[in-house]
Structure formats: structure tokens, C-alpha cells
Amino acid sequence: MNWEPEVRQMCLALPETYEEQAWVGTRWRVRGRTFAHVLDIMDGTPPAFATAAGTDGPAHVLVLRSRGTELDALSKRDGFFAPGWGPEIIGMLLDESVDRTELGELITESYCTRAPKKLVALLRRPE
């Protein structure tokens, strides 16, 4: 399954989000700060992502931001990986086991780590 259209829809629903091509794949940003990045791993390329994800592919990967206990918990779950190139960065393998509700929550939380407080305040989030 190609997850990019679904991730795109979730990301672009967030205030002041825009999409652009990254060095590989597609990323979504708010005020110049990336909060989601989707790419494909094929035949071990790109190598940094293939190594971090532990697969030569084919695989769809979503890279997000998270913090604190949530980041720690995610990094220990199957289907997630800590790439090691930033303290808040977590990778997620996108496959048929992904829960769409959780995916939306993770994207929103990632957005909240990068967006200004006034934009975060516009979101309806569970307590």
C-alpha cells in the first residue's frame, strides 16, 4: 500500500502546513520546520534509512518527531526505530498493520513539537 496520499491528507489538515520534496521522498513542514517525512526504501537505498530501519526494502517509512516517555515507548515497539540522527526523531514502517487513528495522532504530536504555540492552540486534542 502507498501510504503517502493518506499521510499527505493528515498533514495538510494541520494549520499552515505545506508539502515539499525532500532529498528523498516527501516532507511536510510548518514554518520551515519538518514534522513528517515519507520515503521508500528499495534495494538498501537510501542506505542511512535502510540501516536505521533494519531492512533493505521494499518498505515505506515515515519519520516523525516525539518527546519524552512517548518517544521512549515508541522506540521499543515493533515497526518503529530510532534512527539516531536527532534526539526527537522516530521512524515508523508503514505497512498493513498500521492503525490509521494512531497514525493521525502521531502526526499531530509530531506537528506539535515543531509548530509555534499559537498554531498548536488551534488544534482540538484529547486531554
User: Per the structure, how many domains does the chain have?
Assistant: 1
> For residue range 20-39, what is the model confidence (pLDDT) as tens digits?
999 999 999 999 999 999 99
Averaged pLDDT, 81-106: 92
Q: What is the mean pLDDT of the chain?
A: 92
Q: Is position 126 within any domain?
A: no
**Per-residue pLDDT band at 11 (split at 50, 70, 90):** very high
The b-or-e profile of 55-91 (16+ CB within 10 A means b, else e) is eebebbbbbbbbeeeebeebeeeeebbbbeeeeebbb
Residue 14 lies in a domain: yes
CATH number at residue 104: 3.90.1150.30
pLDDT at 64: 97
Residue 127 counted as domain residue: no
Which residues span the domain enclosing 26? 4-120
Q: What is the predicted pLDDT for the residue at 100?
A: 93
Predicted confidence (pLDDT) at residue 14 exceeds the cutoff of 90: yes
Specify if 125 maps to a domain: no
pLDDT band at 126 (very low <50, low <70, confident <90, very high): low
- 76-81 CB contacts, 8 Å cutoff, 24+ apart: 81/52, 81/53, 81/54
Contact 20, 12 (CB under 8 A): no
End-to-end CA distance of the chain: 32
Dump pLDDT digits (tens) for 46-57. Answer: 999 999 999 999
Task: Supply the pLDDT for residue 63.
Answer: 97
